[in-house]
């Protein structure tokens, strides 16, 4: 009995030890990443970890939320925002490493339906009506929501769709409304429906870039990580050809 117990204790001790003393990677990067960039980020991180030996921990969320959290001292090293506004604000407040900000992707807006054949390639379905709900992200919170509002205003449809609009708090929730079929139409990011360079399902209209202000998804190095080699290496990798290829593959533009 006693030896049995001590064996258990030993096993438990080993387990605890293994949990505390994990092999330490060369370095660790804590990244705050805008939700629309979730999937490309995953691929980029995988490649980066393999090549550099550094580990990257990704937190997903809305850019505005990350802005508030970073201001309150959240322990992030790099911030990949969905816009340019939030990184710029942090920069003005002295919370980023000077001159570290750059655009890592230009976002593309699509009008999407989970139903194949529902959206035509000119987006005429918007004006025709016949749908009950049109989902978009809150324009105050999400750059893609703002772009959707600009598009609707440009088409002269902003007033007429008011009764049909449902608002997602993020672009991820907006996608969810359409993916579950609860909204026939949704303005979302092209990256959300792109897999291996192709749109993965439903029907869509790629909104011409001239209809909305550019979605300049910007990354910064936060000042708390100014001496962290792993964080700097990651941002450098984000600009590399390999990363750029992945980013383009998900439907983002890069100029």
Partner 1 sequence: MTVFDPDDLQAVWLTLKLAGVVTLLLLFIATPLAWWLAHSRKWYKGAVAALVALPLVLPPTVLGFYLLLLMGPHGIVGELTAALHIGALPFTFTGLVIGSVLFSMPFAVQPIQNAFEAMGKRPLEVAATLRAGRWDRFFSVAVPLARPGFFTAIILAFAHTVGEFGVVLMLGGNIPGETRVLSVAIYNHVEAMEYGAAQWLAGGMVLFSFIVLLGLYLTGGKSWKVTR
Interface residues toward partner 1, by CB under 8 A: 62, 64-65, 68, 132-133, 135, 138, 140-141, 165-169, 173, 176-177, 180-183
Cα(181)–Cα(187) distance, rounded to whole angstroms?
A: 14
Contact between 114 and 178 under an 8 Å Cβ cutoff? The reply is yes
- Least distance between partner 1 and beta carbon 23 (Å): 33
- Least distance between partner 1 and beta carbon 181 (Å): 4
- Least distance between partner 1 and beta carbon 107 (Å): 19
If you ran DSSP here, which 8-state letter would residue 148 be given?
H
Report the relative pairing of strands 109-113 and 185-189 from DSSP bridges.
antiparallel
Cα(224)–Cα(47) distance, rounded to whole angstroms?
A: 25
Cα(113)–Cα(95) distance, rounded to whole angstroms?
A: 40
Which residue number, 99 or 180, has a Cβ lying nearer to partner 1? Answer: 180
207: phi then psi, degrees, rounded to nearest 5: -65, 130
- Least distance between partner 1 and beta carbon 5 (Å): 33
Which residue number, 65 or 248, has a Cβ lying nearer to partner 1? Answer: 65
Which residue number, 98 or 181, has a Cβ lying nearer to partner 1? Answer: 181
Which residue number, 136 or 252, has a Cβ lying nearer to partner 1? Answer: 136
Contact between 129 and 255 under an 8 Å Cβ cutoff? The reply is no
Which residue number, 77 or 83, has a Cβ lying nearer to partner 1? Answer: 83
Host H or E run for residue 125: helix 125-128
- Least distance between partner 1 and beta carbon 38 (Å): 17
- Least distance between partner 1 and beta carbon 67 (Å): 8
Q: Which residues contact 252 (CB under 8 A, 6 or more apart)?
A: 40, 105, 106, 107, 108, 190, 191, 217
Which residue number, 145 or 251, has a Cβ lying nearer to partner 1? Answer: 145
Q: Which long-range contacts (CB under 8 A, 24 or more apart) does 175-183 make?
A: 175/112, 177/133, 177/135, 178/112, 178/113, 178/114, 178/135, 178/202, 179/114, 180/114, 181/114, 181/115, 182/133, 183/132, 183/133, 183/134, 183/135
For residue 129, the tally of other CB atoms under 10 A from its CB is 11
- Least distance between partner 1 and beta carbon 131 (Å): 12
Which residue number, 80 or 186, has a Cβ lying nearer to partner 1? Answer: 186
Contact between 213 and 67 under an 8 Å Cβ cutoff? The reply is no
């Amino acid at each position: 009995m006693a030896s049995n117990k001590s064996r258990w204790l030993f096993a438990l001790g080993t387990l605890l030890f293994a949990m505390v003393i994990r092999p330490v990677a060369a370095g660790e990067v804590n990244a705050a990443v805008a939700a629309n960039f979730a999937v490309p980020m995953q691929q980029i991180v995988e490649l980066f970890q393999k090549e550099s030996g550094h580990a990257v921990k990704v937190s997903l969320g809305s850019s505005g939320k990350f802005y508030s959290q970073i201001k309150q001292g959240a322990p992030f090293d790099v911030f990949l925002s969905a816009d340019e506004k939030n990184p710029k604000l942090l920069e003005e407040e002295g919370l980023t490493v000077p001159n570290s900000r750059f655009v890592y992707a230009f976002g593309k807006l699509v009008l999407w339906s989970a139903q194949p054949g529902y959206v035509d390639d000119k987006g005429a379905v918007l004006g025709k009506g016949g749908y009950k709900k049109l989902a978009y992200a809150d324009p105050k919170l999400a750059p893609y929501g703002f772009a959707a509002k600009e598009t609707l205003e440009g088409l002269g449809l902003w007033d007429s769709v008011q009764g049909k609009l449902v608002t997602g708090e993020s672009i991820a929730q907006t996608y969810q409304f359409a993916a579950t079929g609860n909204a026939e139409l949704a303005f979302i990011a092209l990256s959300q429906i792109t897999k291996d360079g192709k749109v993965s399902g439903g029907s869509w209209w790629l909104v011409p870039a001239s209809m909305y202000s550019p979605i300049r998804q910007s990354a910064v190095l936060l000042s708390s990580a100014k001496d962290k080699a792993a964080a700097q290496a990651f941002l450098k990798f984000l600009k590399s050809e390999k990363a750029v290829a992945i980013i383009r593959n998900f439907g983002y533009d890069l100029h």
